[in-house]
Amino acid sequence: MFARRIVLAGLCAGLMSALAPLNAIAQEHTLKLQHFLPPQANVPKLVLDVWADNVEKDSEGRIKVERYAGMALGGKPPELYDQVADGVIDIGWTVVGYTPGRFPSTEVFELPFMVDDARAASYAYWVMYEEGMQEQFSDVHMLGTWVHGPGLFHTADPVESPEDLEGMKIRGGSRLVNKLLEATGATPVGMPVPAVAEGLAKGVIDGTTIPWEVTPALKVPELVENHTEFEGTALYTLTFVFVMNKDAYNALPADLQQVVDDNSGLEFSIFAGGTQADADGPAREVAVDAGNNIITIDADTAASVWRPVVEPIYADWVADLKEKDIDGEALIARARQLIEYYNENVK
């Protein structure tokens, strides 16, 4: 009996030794992913977690993606891009506009009344990234580029015309959105998304510009009663990047780099932008159920009343980019061409 136990013990030890390399492989690479939203918000729940889950599954457990919501690893939202570039974190998702003027070509998708569909614009964004924006992002490995659904106003007092915004303090999410606000006579207030709820509650701002999808997570329908949306082409959109530290990517063996690549790029960017836009509808219903005042600016009024107010932003932007040796008019033409192509041939 004793001898049998010795044999069994030896077999178990041998089995554990044989399994040890498999356990090591299963925990081969851990990647830290950080973003600025609460974990229950739509982007982490419907986009970032889906990406991370797919990478873990397709790598058969060799890659583990740890997710840190609400800047849990430290820092402020505008620091996210540099956290990735500097290797503080491995992966980050951020608003490009948090670093104004640093990535000027992406602003083509933030021009007023430029984007009519988030999927089409996200498609165009990735194609244009590959065609000519890579140098601006040379210090990171790009995973995805996309825009959100139509941006709109959420305000304490109703907004039906540009004049209604005069004197209001409105949170803007990017340099061009701030220019849009200035053109209407509003005072733009720079503020990352997580600070919006407190800003509204304390009266620091009279309203904010954000898409519908993020409003429930920020309790916006509880803090303001008026929402102004636009039919047709969006008042504005913001651009996002989902980026990975280059050293972290290069440290992966070729087959795991392929896993990351297969879950990133053009198709993922379209999925991300479209998924974010699809979440607008359910979020809008929260405001409807609360009995809030939803003002819809029809396409004709947008074209005749609103567009002339913000049209000079195009010329200013083109002149701005010319000083940086970038052809802004060519970017506008290419973005429109790609959006039209997607809408007519892919959508």
Instruction: Give 261-284 pLDDT, tens digit per residue.
Output: 999 999 999 999 999 999 999 999
> Is residue 38 included in any domain, yes or no?
yes
Give the whole-angstrom CA distance, residue 134 versus residue 22.
Answer: 38
Residue pointed to by tokens 């998702």: 93
Distance CA 41, CA 142 (A): 23
The dihedral sign for the CA sequence 304, 305, 307, 309: positive
122 neighbors 270 (Cβ within 8 angstroms): yes
> Is 37 within the bounds of a domain?
yes
Residues 110 and 228 in one domain: no
For range 68-73, the mean pLDDT? 97
The type of residue at 53 is D
- What's the domain range around 306? 151-236+282-310
Q: For the segment 299-343, what is each residue's pLDDT rounded down to a tens digit? A: 999 999 999 999 999 999 999 999 999 999 999 999 999 999 999
Within-domain flag for 331: no
In a domain, 124, yes or no: yes
Does one domain contain both 250 and 290? no
Here the tokens at position 84 are 């990735």
Report the SS3 class of residue 322: helix
> Order of strands, edge to edge, in the sheet holding 29-34?
63-68, 29-34, 91-95, 239-244, 141-147
| Assigned token pair, 3 | 């001898």
The answer to whether residues 186 and 224 belong to one domain is yes
Can you give the pTM of this predicted structure? 0.91
The reply to whether 176 and 241 lie within a common domain is: no
> Is there a domain that residue 341 lies in?
no
Number of domains comprising the chain: 2
pLDDT at 191 (0 to 100): 87
Residue 44 lies in a domain: yes
Task: From 151, 123, 127, select the one nearest 274 (Cα to Cα).
Answer: 123
Q: Are residues 115 and 160 in the same domain?
A: no
Shared domain check, 120 and 81: yes
pLDDT tens per residue, range 6-32 = 344 444 444 444 444 444 445 589 999
Within this chain, do residues 303 and 187 fall inside the same structural domain, yes or no? Answer: yes
Q: Tell me whether residue 1 is in a domain.
A: no
- Residue count of the chain, please give it: 347
Regarding whether 126 and 51 lie in a shared domain, the answer is: yes
**Same domain for 225 and 178:** yes
Q: pLDDT value at position 21?
A: 47
For residue 78, give every residue at least 6 positions away whose Cβ sits within 8 Å of its Cβ, in sequence order, or none. 98, 99, 192
Classified as helix, coil or strand, 13 is: helix
Would you give the distance in Å from CA 202 to the centre of its chain?
A: 26
C-alpha atoms less than 13 angstroms from C-alpha of 70 in its C-beta half-sphere: 8
Question: 204 and 84 in one domain?
Answer: no
CATH of the domain at 190: 3.40.190.170
Q: Token pair for residue 172? A: 């803007």
Q: Tokens 């993020």 — which residue?
A: 214
Mark whether 270 and 299 lie in a shared domain.
no
| CA atoms of 55 and 262, how far apart (whole Å) | 9
- If residue 159 lies in a helix (H) or strand (E), which one and from where to where? none
The stretch 46-57 carries a mean pLDDT of 98
In the block, which residue shows the tokens 């305000």?
A: 155
Average pLDDT of the residues in 100-129: 97
Q: Are residues 112 and 197 in the same domain?
A: no
Q: What are the Cα distances from residue 80, in Å, to 51, 98, 145, 159?
A: 18, 9, 15, 33
The count of other CB atoms within 10 Å of the CB of residue 248 is 19
Question: Considering the domain boundaries, does residue 259 fall inside one?
Answer: yes
